[in-house]
Amino acid sequence: MSVWVAIGVTAVGCYAVKLLGLLVPAGALERPLVRRLAALLPVALLAALTAQQTFVDGQALVLDARAAGVGAAAVALVLRAPFLLVVAAAVVVTAGVRALGG
């Protein structure tokens, strides 16, 4: 039963956040600082999620094949490679490190 309570509370919370967003005056959303923050927030959240999924295992900080793959993707991005090549580089490096026992 507690799972359904958590789902219900989450649903009500999501609805409340959506409702609060609709109640914000349009003038407040047109400010340059707010527009800039709204553009940067998804990037920051995605970066935080990627870092958490890559470098954390339970309660411990780990550096394994996933970190090597992210490093390879970063190098490919710096070299301005196409997106599919960036993903392929990360996959190949991660698989290679895991095959070598990392």
Q: Which pLDDT belongs to residue 43?
A: 93
DSSP letter assigned to residue 56: E
Q: What is the pLDDT of residues 5-35, one digit of tens each?
A: 999 999 999 999 999 989 989 888 889 999 9
Residues 96 and 69: beta-carbon distance below 8 Å: no
Q: Which pLDDT belongs to residue 1?
A: 65
Q: Would the pLDDT of 102 be above 70?
A: no
Q: Would the pLDDT of 87 be above 70?
A: yes
Q: Would the pLDDT of 93 be above 80?
A: yes
- Name the residue with tokens 């990360």: 90
pTM for the model stands at: 0.61
Distance CA 40, CA 89 (A): 26
Distance CA 91, CA 102 (A): 14
Q: What percent of the chain has pLDDT over 90?
A: 73
Token reading at 41? 């927030």
Distance CA 9, CA 7 (A): 6
